[in-house]
Amino acid sequence: MLTSKTLAVNEILETSFPKSDDLRNQPKSIEILHYLSKKLDPERLDHVISVQETAVKLARYHNADVWKVNLAALLHDVAKWMSDDQLYKAVSRFEIELDPIEKTMPALLHAIVGVKNAIELFKVTDLDILEAIRCHTTGNASMGLTAKLIYVADFAEPNRLYKEAKQVRQVAEEDLNQAVHWVAQHKIGFLLQNDGIIHPNTIHTYNSTFPNLDRYKPKR
Ligand SMILES: [Fe+2]
Ligand SMILES: [Fe+2]
């Protein structure tokens, strides 16, 4: 049940920040959505809209720049329509250096090529937005606020059917680092259960957000 305090906070959040719909009606958002609606299948497009709504809502709770979060969310899967072959060709065209694990995992490449697409197609130069696109699959130990919000929203948007999505959404409003930690934990668990390769950045994300990390420091 919503308490009067929660209702008051929600009212302030609703009135003092732009709404998801308003953000989607910005000229840059319209341009990106026009592109995505031609390139992505309807299910993927629904996912992107849902990530945008989830990330913008969380941005309000964490006092983030909603304009940046909006664009980062809309762009995070901008290269998701590309086949593995197209992604590897784009990696070559953009002269991107892949690490040994990225070379073997085409599923990671849309985040890397997506950064180049955002710059080339939409003239996005904001480093927070580009970092969020780049990190949305593996995470990174040094993610900024925008990147953390997209990492969490991508995993936990309401169209995601696994039970962990709801748990992460619930904790994300109160404690974003805990939410990032759980996302990394769930991804690592899934990959272990399915004999998948774990990118080191996912492990770094998990370790860097460990609650009470201090208790693991050696005692002097
Ligand atoms: Fe993605
Ligand atoms: Fe996504």
- Nearest alpha-carbon partner for 113 in 76, 138, 139, 149: 76
CATH number of 19-216: 1.10.3210.10
Ligand 1 centre from 101 Cα, in Å?
A: 17
Tell me what pLDDT residue 128 has: 98
Mean pLDDT of 148-161: 97
Give 86 Cα–ligand 1 centroid separation in angstroms.
16
Q: Which region among 6-10, 41-45, 141-145, 167-171 has the lowest average model confidence (pLDDT)?
A: 6-10
Q: Classify residue 130 as exposed, middle or buried by CB count within 10 Å of its CB (0-12, 13-18, 19+).
A: buried
Mean predicted confidence (pLDDT) in 154-171:
95
CA of 144 to the centre of ligand 2 (A): 18
Domain boundaries of the chain, sorted by first residue: 19-216
Residues near 158 by Cβ (< 8 Å), separated by ≥ 6?
Answer: 50, 54, 165, 169
124: confidence class by pLDDT, cuts 50, 70, 90: very high
What does the mean pLDDT of the chain come to? 92
Residues 6+ apart with CB under 8 A from 26: 67, 70
What's the pLDDT at 161? 92
Ligand nearest to the CA of 80: 1
Tell how far the Cα of 77 is from the centroid of ligand 2, in angstroms.
5
| Residues in CB range of 148: below 8 A, 6 or more apart | 176, 177, 180
Ligand index nearest the alpha carbon of residue 109: 1
Longest dimension (CA), the chain: 60
Distance 10 CA to ligand 1 centre (A): 29
The Å distance, Cα 113 to ligand 1 centre, comes to 11
